[in-house]
């Protein structure tokens, strides 16, 4: 028997999922559906900042989202073992140190994972798993999950059809203290990575001007500019110019990572010293060297710690959430 055009349940669930998501993110943020048919990205969320009760201003920050809908999510308790820093060593579990974590499981197709992996780490792509029955929305950063969990555990994951994601049940959009912190942090990713690159460039130039080396290699530039020296006024002018390029970056206002506003305070202090007459240059020089070392170290901290945030790992549980988990340690 011939039938008329039909609307499948999955499309109904998809539309319902979008409405659930819209109801649970800040109302001044903007959600846009992204390319239909989509090829890995369903939604783009643009972040805005409230200026006053009538106006919100765009931050120029975006989060990309893959949405998956399920009729009902089941949570379970899972044992999470301590793992070493996978940015430095292969995945090795310490079975003597562990905690219990409530999680949900979602089998994510390998094609989507590999597509997101190809984007690299600078574009934040989140997986939203929407529970249609409870209207809960669980989130995880796919980029970070790939680099901090999948690849260290299973570098040949592309040889299988799907990978089951383990998502902390704490990661719900309705848990606004957690979700707003996480989404704002993911939205800042491109700006943070750009800033880390700028800090590294400036540190290299400052080291060259001040005549100190933190590497054992004699470079072509060292050879070409051997014996060149800089006048103190020239150095101060250059330093103040570098500070002017970074002191007003809006990453410093991200209070959820406390080292950022503190770093700006240190920038202001050094700027004031550079602008003060008759200041002891030997003291200022040391502060400059330390400051730019700290600025470039932000990038190290970001890769080492921050990209672990909100993942199902003990380091994440200790640093992402306000409630510290109970860690069991066996002798």
Phi, psi of 98 (to 5 degrees): -160, 165
CB 63 within 8 A of CB 29: no
Lookup: tokens for 108: 């994510």
Query: DSSP state, 327?
Result: P
| pLDDT for the residue numbered 221 | 65
pTM, whole model, 2 decimals? 0.88
| pLDDT for the residue numbered 115 | 92
CB 33 within 8 A of CB 43: yes
| pLDDT for the residue numbered 9 | 45
| pLDDT for the residue numbered 41 | 87
Residue 277 to residue 164: CA distance in whole angstroms:
62
| pLDDT for the residue numbered 62 | 95
| pLDDT for the residue numbered 143 | 95
Domain boundaries, the chain: 1-171+322-331, 190-304
Determine if the peptide bond prior to 166 is cis (ω within 30°). no
CB 127 within 8 A of CB 106: yes
Question: pLDDT tens track of the chain, all 331 residues?
Answer: 665 444 444 555 667 888 999 999 999 999 998 766 566 789 999 999 998 888 899 999 999 999 999 999 999 999 999 998 888 888 889 898 999 999 999 999 999 999 999 988 898 999 999 999 999 999 999 999 999 999 999 999 999 999 999 999 999 999 999 999 999 999 999 999 999 999 999 999 999 888 877 766 666 666 666 666 778 899 999 999 999 999 999 999 888 899 999 999 999 999 999 999 888 999 999 999 999 999 999 999 999 999 999 999 999 999 998 888 888 887 6
Lookup: tokens for 197: 């690159």
State the DSSP string of 123-188.
Answer: S-EEEEEEETTTTEEEEEEHHHHIIIIIHHH-TTGGGSSEEEEEEETT-BTT-HHHHHHHHHHHHT
| pLDDT for the residue numbered 35 | 64
Which residues in 21-47 are b (16+ Cβ under 10 Å) and which e? beebbbeebeeeebeeeeebbbbebeb
């Amino acid at each position: 028997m011939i039938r008329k055009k039909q609307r499948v349940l999955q499309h109904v669930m998809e539309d319902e999922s979008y409405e659930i998501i819209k109801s649970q993110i800040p109302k001044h943020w903007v959600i846009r559906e992204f390319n239909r048919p989509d090829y890995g990205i369903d939604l783009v969320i643009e972040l805005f900042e409230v200026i006053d009760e009538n106006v919100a201003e765009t931050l120029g920050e975006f989060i990309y989202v893959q949405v998956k809908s399920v009729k009902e999510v089941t949570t379970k308790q899972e044992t999470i073992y301590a793992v070493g820093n996978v940015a430095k060593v292969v995945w090795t579990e310490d079975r003597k140190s562990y905690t219990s974590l409530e999680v949900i499981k979602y089998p994510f197709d390998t094609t989507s994972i590999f597509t997101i992996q190809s984007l690299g780490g600078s574009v934040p792509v989140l997986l939203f798993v929407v529970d249609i029955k409870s209207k809960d929305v669980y989130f995880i950063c796919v980029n970070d999950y790939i680099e901090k969990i999948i690849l260290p555990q299973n570098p040949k994951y592309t040889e299988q059809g799907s990978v089951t994601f383990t998502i902390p049940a704490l990661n719900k959009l309705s848990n606004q203290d957690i979700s707003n912190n996480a989404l704002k942090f993911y939205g800042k990713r491109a700006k943070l990575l750009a800033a880390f690159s700028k800090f590294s460039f400036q540190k290299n130039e400052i080291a060259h001007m001040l005549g100190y080396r933190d590497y054992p290699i004699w470079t072509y530039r060292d050879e070409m500019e051997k014996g060149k020296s800089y006048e103190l006024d020239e150095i101060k002018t250059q330093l103040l110019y570098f500070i002017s390029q970074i002191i007003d970056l809006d990453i410093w206002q991200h209070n959820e990572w406390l080292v950022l506003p503190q770093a700006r305070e240190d920038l202001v202090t050094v700027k004031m010293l550079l602008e003060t007459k008759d200041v002891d240059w030997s003291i200022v020089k040391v502060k400059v060297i330390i400051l730019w070392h700290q600025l470039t170290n932000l990038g190290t901290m970001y890769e080492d710690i921050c990209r672990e945030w909100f993942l199902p790992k003990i380091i994440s549980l200790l640093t992402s959430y306000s409630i510290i988990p109970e860690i069991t340690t066996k002798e």
